[in-house]
């Protein structure tokens, strides 16, 4: 899937394959579907970035984008905290 440069909002370019789009678009139907994957914890950083790009390219619901970015920050913060904790062991 070709992503226009104006939608590349992250520092590193995000790539979305057709399989990624098919797999993840189900979760962008509404808040309840998105919340399901948040509660299950079955979402990773690359998929969150893909979901953000997909949302801003299609529906442009800022509330959904904010939730996705909040979850992305939470995962990144947890990873950084774990790296710091390793230094103190």
Asked whether residue 40 is domain-assigned, the answer is yes
Asked whether residue 3 is domain-assigned, the answer is no
**Residue 8 above 90 pLDDT?**
yes
Q: Look up the pTM and report it.
A: 0.89
Asked whether residue 21 is domain-assigned, the answer is yes
Domain of residue 82, residue span: 14-87
Angle between helical axes of 18-25 and 45-57 (0-180°, round to 10): 80
DSSP 16-82: --HHHHHHHHGGGS-HHHHHHHHHHT---HHHHHHHHHHHHHTT--HHHHHHHHHHHHHHHHHHHHH
| Three-point CA angle 33, 62, 76, nearest 5° | 75
Asked whether residue 60 is domain-assigned, the answer is yes
Domain count along the chain: 1
Asked whether residue 7 is domain-assigned, the answer is no
Asked whether residue 9 is domain-assigned, the answer is no
Tell me the per-residue pLDDT of 63-89, one tens digit each, with 9 for 90 and over. Answer: 999 999 999 999 999 999 999 999 998
Asked whether residue 76 is domain-assigned, the answer is yes
């Amino acid at each position: 899937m070709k992503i226009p440069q104006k939608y590349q909002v992250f520092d590193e370019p995000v790539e979305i394959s057709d399989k990624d789009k098919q797999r993840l678009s189900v979760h962008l139907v509404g808040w309840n579907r998105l919340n399901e994957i948040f509660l299950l914890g079955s979402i990773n950083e690359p998929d969150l970035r893909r979901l953000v790009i997909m949302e801003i390219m299609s529906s442009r619901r800022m509330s959904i984008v904010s939730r996705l970015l909040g979850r992305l920050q939470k995962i990144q913060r947890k990873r950084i905290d774990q790296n710091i904790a390793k230094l103190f062991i």
